[in-house]
Structure 1
Amino acid sequence: MTGSQLGGRYRIIKQLGEGGFGATFLAADSHLPGNHNCLVKQLKPAATDPATLDIARRLFDTEAKVLHELGSHPQIPQLLAYFEENQQFYLVEEFIPGRELSEEMAERGQWGETEVISLVAGLLDILAFVHGKNAIHRDVNPRNIIRRHSDGKLVLIDFGAVKQITTQMVGAPGASGFTVCIGTPGYMPCEQALGKPKFSSDIYAVGMIAIEALTGVQSLQLPKDGETEEIIWRDKANVSPEFGNFLDKMVRYDFRERYAAAAEAKAALEMLQQATLATVPIMQPVINPPVKATGKKPLKLLALLLVLLGSAGGGGVYLLNAFNSASANELYDRALTLYNLNRYEEALGFYDKALSIVPEYAEVWQGKGKVLLDLQRYDEALAAYDRAIQIQPDSLDAWTGRGFALDALQRWEEALAAFDRVITANPDTAIAWEGKGNVLLHWLLYEQAISAYDQALKLQPDSATMWYNRGWALQNLQEWKQAINSYDKSLELKFDNATTWYHRGNCLMQINKNQEAVASYDKVVRFQPKHHPAWFSRGIAQMKMNRYEDAITSFQQATQLKPNHPASWYNLAWSLQQLRRYEQAIDAYNTVLELQPSQYLAWYNIGNSLYNLQRYQEAIHAYDEAVYSQQNHAESWYSRGNALFALTRYAEAISSYEKAIRYQPDYDEAKAGKKRAEKKQAEIEELLRKKQQPPQPPPKKMVNGDG
């Protein structure tokens, strides 16, 4: 279909996917300048008789109108067109350049609570719009959520309504009212599996995504209570009781115990955030009355001083305030010294003592905010910076600190506003440019973040952190060499930063400098011997150089540090297999299957190892498991055919080779295997045919004179 044109304007570039509901293609719209890219979804009717097509046509029109209405939300792809051509139905949607959330989750492992709250809030915001249109998504899962490249926002794709069109095309006329199960196992609650989805079914899916992010455990691998069927997950995550309770309600087994729809869940989450992220509003400065004298200085000395000052009234108040200020200054200096010694709790105590003497001391509030920021008490830090700004509204240091506190609380729009205010007042404030870069980095606006870091580094080129962040932004733009240069600058300033060495190694591996990548990972494990990702990546780089013995050592370290990491076990098994240590490889693959029972590649490679051990019947069983989990895996069908051939079961072998060719039409090895098996089968059939023929009588002897 590649190269063909649909609807008179949509030229197919390539096929992106295919399933029971239809196929998806990347296409170019030839009616728009620059051949604007779009997605074309082909919906396959189960039958093409007139009655079924008439039902399909009505459903198609109804559901397309719903999708068009939903596309008015900025985080849902727009429906650009829909049409029928040659008894096939097509939807044309906006193409969203971005990255699947599933990839992001697989790379990052466990997320922090604040990140997950932000993720859930974003998804509920989209679903509140969807549910408000009386629609149910039906298939919310990490593969159907795209992190858009242009602004870093989440986009919800692949609505189940599209799939419902095809499922209701089946059967006889009048049978269009039945409901078919649509959804993805692990994110689909029981009522949806029974074909009766509700708004709360989408809530369940979002809750499962959040739990998967918090625990780092795939949704299908999470255990359930045998009595209640509730998900057991809290022991695998670091989560506050309040947010844990919120997620538990999202994923209740009984839909009646969940939030009824996204708007209700969104409101509950907002209340939870207000309870934990409350802060002090900025107010106009307040002038307190003069502080009264409470000390017990000798009266004569006081009287003498008052005379010297020339007034027994205002001068006395001035003198006492001066004494208090001197005392507060001393406490401030001591607090600052303790802060520089990283003795934060003691510094905090002296700041509080200073404020008890002079409550309107802006610099002390600012210093207190800085201590609280380093103690990760972000709400209190924000309140302290707000108090400093109330007293001294033009304090750029206080505004900068406020920006970093807001950044830590993931209130990024407010943080950016604070940093921009500082930059407007003084463009040479390096730390404000850094803060702005950090916010842009959170929003995945990498090019803009790099520009901000470049401004900061012009003013402060000796910041290891800024060079690191700049490298990370470049790495995400796949500018590998530039990223390496930034990481090198960071390491010149802070040589023992394991994280910088790790990402440097990842970039080197991307440009196939595998030996240098291994050297970088060596630095990581030198500084952090228990750094699991470094051991794992080290093994991958060594495998790419065919250094399987070294790779085995790396993966063994990785599996010891993180025994529940399937990829470490899988690559250990693969390395063992390359060295023909088949029994050990099978053991490692079996560990993969304990962690991921549906990992078809593990079954496939177990089959290959057993085949090499000439244990053909066991190999066939492994290949059967592989194709059960992934029916269209051509290599498993081909290898199954080889094992059957080795057992002289040629007819079954032919059938397996045919399956391999069906799923991969250009599979030359499978075609050759089929020919060999057909030849052997023909030879057997010929032998059987000869055996079944009755013996021919001997030729009659000729006698002279006869005939």
Structure 2
Amino acid sequence: MLGSMEQTLLGGRYQVVRRLGSGGFSRTFLVSDLHLPNHPRCVIKQLKVQDKDTGTLDMARRLFDTEARVLYQLGNHPQIPALLAHFEEDQEFYLAQEYIEGSRLNRQVEEGKPWSETRVVLLLQEVLEILSFVHRQQVIHRDIKPSNLIRRHRDGKLVLIDFGAVKQVTSSPLLDAETGATNITVAIGTHGYMPNEQYAGKPRFSSDVYAVGMLGIRALTGLHPQKIDEDPVTSELAWRHHAPETSSALTAVLDKMVRYDFRDRYPTAQEALEALQNLPNPLHGLVGTQIYQTWMRGSQGRGPTFPGDDYDSTLGPTETSEPTAFADDQDSTSLFPVDLAYSNGSTSGALPLVVPDVLEEEFKLPVRLGSLLAVGLLSTFGFGLVIWRSGLTIAFEPSNQTVTIPFQRAGTPSLATDLSMLLPPEEKATYLSRQGDRLWDQGSYPDALDIYNEAVEVQIDYAPAYLGRCKTLISLKRPVEAIAACDDALAYSTYYPEAVRSKGNAEEQQGHLLAALELYESANRLMPAMAEAWLDRGRVLQKLGRSAEALAAIDQAIARDRESAEAWTVRGEAALALKRYDHAIIALEKALQIDPDYGPAQDLRQRARRLLGR
């Protein structure tokens, strides 16, 4: 069967290279896209339909289209594989997704090899940051586990794959492959990472939080979750004695993440992330001395080793997976914290570049800069170099060092400008755009505009720089130029709902309300989870005097973000126009609870009270 598929172009464009995996509901292939220059590789997931009668196919088709739109939306995140295409062929359904080259995390979370608390905290924070985005899009992943996290080769970032949303398409309305029974509500997940409500087919956002907590406990204890017992009285996990050195603060956070009753957990990934970020001294006094180290190639493809590690890996129980993106493990890339160590003064032997998350995030420093920086910087200092700038640390350590002595903070000149000059165009454009974003957040609009313009000069097709330019020009009350910038962003990224929404902001600023409304409606269709576009739509509808429609749009915005004072204020204004005075007062009171100094809400509340004679 595979041989015949290799001779066939899927969707008329994808040439099968090899099969990557298969499961009860899908098969996954590595393919080449023959319609694009250089035939780049991507992943095709073929979704199986067990029963191909007309009713089942129609239902599967509707669900498939819905879930493909969700995945398209999620792929906007840089640490989630992008959905490139979805199509139906010969009554089979196919998803084409970005191919992630990297190493699965289960190659690092090894049986019998506990991680340090610092490593665990940093891992959990990175996973929860991605998951927070997923939850904001109203999506539950349902299968968080080490094999569904890939450490990407090109930048060392974690990538979250294999979304439960895809599995809803293949399982819910169809036949169970083993029993033949129809599954209306199906438990999807992996044993050990799946809480009780998910077993019952009723997953919640906190079900994902549970899985991430189990990931942390597995890393801390070195034990697969299925080997951790439950308390016979409370049904809570009895894991603490397997990691007795864990701080009480982290233990409390993990315990809350994995509570048996979902109502006792953090409700979403964002709350769990905030709890981790608020840990008292979460890195145990090693902030600035615990950093991320990137290896482009690990020993025998295994990734980095740490003092005391051996080369023999014993993995835990097999975790089956149906990947939507697949990582080859031949060349392992890892990004983990290590203690900085003084060098013995020798420059012989391997000197891996040590780069912290702050640097990797802010400057996008590629690992290939290591040798260049080593030559210039080590010759100046003669020992392991430390550069500290607002939490930024760069250091080298000898590969045979066994005793670690933390460096202390050192005051040295900024290297930001020099580093940006060394970056290749696409990474420099990213670096500049993020600098522009920070300036825009601070209200430094002229400076932000200069930075975005520089990013465009560096890489003319970098859509985020054009979007930044558009938003900044709106803030500077230059809507005509802003529209041109948003059009440029859309020319280089055809799926860019944020740019559609910003173009609507520019049209609204000019008083072109109908044109703005059309753009906001388009943004809603492209990204239904974007609360800001629903708020924009409701605000314009209210300006047009269409209060009932405005109320409906604002309710959509509030359902996605209940902490927007502007949304509650517009709701109050619409209710007031519809003479629903009590509803207006309630909405305006809510707006002022969120922001007591929000002027429009204060003014409208006074007006509503006058109308009610209060």
Q: TM-score, normalised by structure 1?
A: 0.43
Q: Higher strand fraction: Structure 1 or Structure 2?
A: 2
Q: Higher helix fraction: Structure 1 or Structure 2?
A: 1
Larger radius of gyration: 1
Q: Which gives a bigger RCO, structure 1 or 2 (Cα 8 Å, sep 6+)?
A: 2
Q: TM-score, normalised by structure 2?
A: 0.49
